[in-house]
A = this chain, B = another copy of it.
Amino acid sequence: MRDAYHEQLDSVGHTLVEMAGLVGQALSRATRALLDADLPSAEAVISADDAVDALHRGLDVRTLDLIARQQPVAGDLRTLVASLRMSADLERMGDLARHIAKVARMRYPECAVPEDLRPTFARMGEIGAELADKVARIVEDQDVEAARMLERQDDVVDRLHRAVFNALLSKETAYTIEAAIDVTLLSRYYERFADHAVSVARRLVFLVTGGDE
């Protein structure tokens, strides 16, 4: 009985790793869809998010079931509750990748991002996907050191986010209002994606160290 229980505990961890992998792929693909005005990629991201949502719901059900039926010891309970939260973060990261894909689809066959801002968004997409991949490995290896380092990379996203606004503001006449709205929301989506990745990493640190952050 205890063996089945530990298998179930492990499977919760595996689901989180799988979700992190999927949302990282979704962000890469959404960024490509956005910058190349690639409609099939946009559609693929939008429909693939259902799989992330399903993993999230399944993990919730299994986790609550484990808590209710197995009455886990304090350490396992902390792991399970942290898993519920990490899963919520990852599900939200999937939503944000989908939001980006939806902007790409809405503006197709145009590109929603003005040409001079595309390298900045390419970089935000790249770092965001890297953060998601790192989160997958951090959760898999319970790697507190890597989790702590993740925060520095989030700073890069925040800087890029501000750079987008500065670029918009520095050339007041170069952009349409439509482009300004799209770019503002898109930049916010990338920033929030990175925030949630950091949030997962923080929960892992908290879990492993017992709060010594």
Which residues in A have some Cβ–Cβ distance to B below 8 Å?
64, 67-68, 71, 74, 77-78, 81, 84-85, 88, 165, 168-169, 172, 175-178, 180-181, 184-185, 188
B188 touches A178 (CB 8 A): no
B178 touches A184 (CB 8 A): no
B180 touches A177 (CB 8 A): yes
Identify whether the interface residues of A are mostly helix, strand, loop, or mixed.
Answer: helix
Can you list 28 pairs linking A and B with CB atoms under 8 Å apart? A64-B77, A64-B78, A67-B67, A67-B77, A68-B74, A68-B77, A71-B71, A81-B84, A84-B84, A85-B88, A165-B181, A168-B177, A168-B181, A169-B177, A169-B178, A169-B181, A172-B177, A175-B177, A177-B177, A177-B180, A180-B180, A180-B181, A180-B184, A181-B184, A184-B184, A184-B185, A185-B188, A188-B188
Instruction: Give Cα A71 to B184, complex, Å.
Output: 47
Closest Cβ neighbor of A184 among chain B residues: B184
